Homo-oligomer: A and B are copies of this chain.
Amino acid sequence: MSNQGWCLLRRPTGYFQEGDIVLSDLPMPQPAPGQLRIRTVYLSIDPAYRVWANDIILYFPKLEIGETLRGSIIGVVEESYHPDFTPGDIVTGVLRIQKYLLSDGTDIMKVPPDLSLRSYFALYGHIGTTAYFGLEIVHPKAGETLVVSSAAGGVGSLAGQMAKIYGCRVVGIAGADDRCRWIVDELGFDAAINYRTQDVDQRLRETCPDGIDVYFDNVGGAILDSVCLQLNIGARIALCGMLTNYNSDQPVAVYNLLELILKRASAHGFLVTDYLPRYLEAFTQIKAWEAANKIKYRLTVLDGIEQLPQALEGIFASRYLGKVVLQIAPEP
């Protein structure tokens, strides 16, 4: 039994490349009084990990060279000197991408016992809650047209399905034909746009003949600009992520903000961690939707902590449908 984790060797430029991160041997964490040790079981693979490696302060302290990367994990408590946790508890949080972790209990929450560990990051966790609370901010109404980018990804595929439940016409923007087929044929989106092969402006006009009332934005940049041109009066934009920025040293330009004035539209940035006290509410609703077969998901599980570089490269290359997780240890 030995510990390992992915450490930052140098700041990436563009996508993560070989030599940016390295799988290093780490000391086995020994919990002191008030602490506990976690064995990592699953790691959520998220585009945000790339921007977290930049030389900027985000919502976390800046990641320094040599530090272990942060990641959203599920794990099992192995050893505990903390009054609220006992060995065998299943916990989750944004910790580090390593096999064994130390916690003082403030950075983790227990996973509700009725939820499947394997599908936790596909339907629940920060993914389902991001879709759920992001939509709450822009309150899509029945009959409205909602566009979602990164629509075949973990968050986007859920946000689009939830908007269908709310009665919206839903158009998804994705980066490959199989992704476009999946969200229309299996998830029930009304239309899909392949931004890599199609003219996004023209396709938005075709697929949103009544204009766009709500945009769930995971990418920023040129697609945000295209959506701005089709906004209806009173439109709302949920700023969930800016994927186009994550692999770049320079932020990507947006040009069409004047449209927000002309259309009396609003854009709302949010971080799902602000909704932590309401996660269980979202979990309950999502579980009910899934039980009623109103929400589907696709999950790719890659095996072994050493697969992290391939997993990250794969999500940026639009290689996987839906959610990707890395299994680091067997489920308890």
- Proximity string of chain A (256-282) to chain B, C-beta cutoff 8 Å, 1 when within and 0 when not: 111111111111111100100000000
Q: A239-B257, A254-B254 are in contact. Are A270 and B264 (CB under 8 A)?
A: yes
For A266, what are the chain B residues with a Cβ–Cβ distance below 8 Å?
266-269
In the complex formed, the residue of B with least CB distance to A237 is B267
- Proximity string of chain A (229-249) to chain B, C-beta cutoff 8 Å, 1 when within and 0 when not: 000000000011110010000
Q: For the complex, what is the distance from the CA of A15 to the CA of B274, rounded to whole Å? A: 45
Q: For the complex, what is the distance from the CA of A252 to the CA of B257, rounded to whole Å? A: 9
What's the minimum C-beta distance from A163 to chain B, rounded to whole angstroms?
20
Q: For the complex, what is the distance from the CA of A231 to the CA of B113, rounded to whole Å? A: 39
Q: A252-B255, A254-B254 are in contact. Are A269 and B261 (CB under 8 A)?
A: yes
Q: Which of B239, B240, B257, B274 contacts A220 (CB 8 A)?
A: B257
For A255, what are the chain B residues with a Cβ–Cβ distance below 8 Å?
250-254
For A262, what are the chain B residues with a Cβ–Cβ distance below 8 Å?
58-59, 269, 271
For A260, what are the chain B residues with a Cβ–Cβ distance below 8 Å?
239, 267-269
Size category, A interface: 20 to 34
Q: For the complex, what is the distance from the CA of A250 to the CA of B256, rounded to whole Å? A: 10
Q: Which of B220, B253, B264, B269 contacts A263 (CB 8 A)?
A: B269
What's the minimum C-beta distance from A73 to chain B, rounded to whole angstroms?
22
Verify A242–B269 contact, CB threshold 8 A. Answer: no
For A264, what are the chain B residues with a Cβ–Cβ distance below 8 Å?
269-271, 274
For A270, what are the chain B residues with a Cβ–Cβ distance below 8 Å?
261, 264
Verify A258–B274 contact, CB threshold 8 A. Answer: no
For A245, what are the chain B residues with a Cβ–Cβ distance below 8 Å?
258
Q: For the complex, what is the distance from the CA of A268 to the CA of B265, rounded to whole Å? A: 6
For A224, what are the chain B residues with a Cβ–Cβ distance below 8 Å?
257
What's the minimum C-beta distance from A159 to chain B, rounded to whole angstroms?
15
Verify B274–A261 contact, CB threshold 8 A. Answer: no
What's the minimum C-beta distance from A271 to chain B, rounded to whole angstroms?
6
A-B contact pairs, 23 of them (CB 8 A): A58-B262, A242-B258, A242-B261, A251-B255, A251-B256, A251-B258, A252-B255, A253-B254, A253-B255, A254-B254, A257-B267, A257-B269, A260-B268, A260-B269, A261-B271, A262-B269, A263-B269, A264-B270, A264-B271, A264-B274, A265-B269, A266-B267, A266-B269
Question: Closest 7 CB pairs between A and B?
Answer: A260-B269, A253-B253, A261-B269, A251-B255, A266-B268, A267-B267, A242-B258
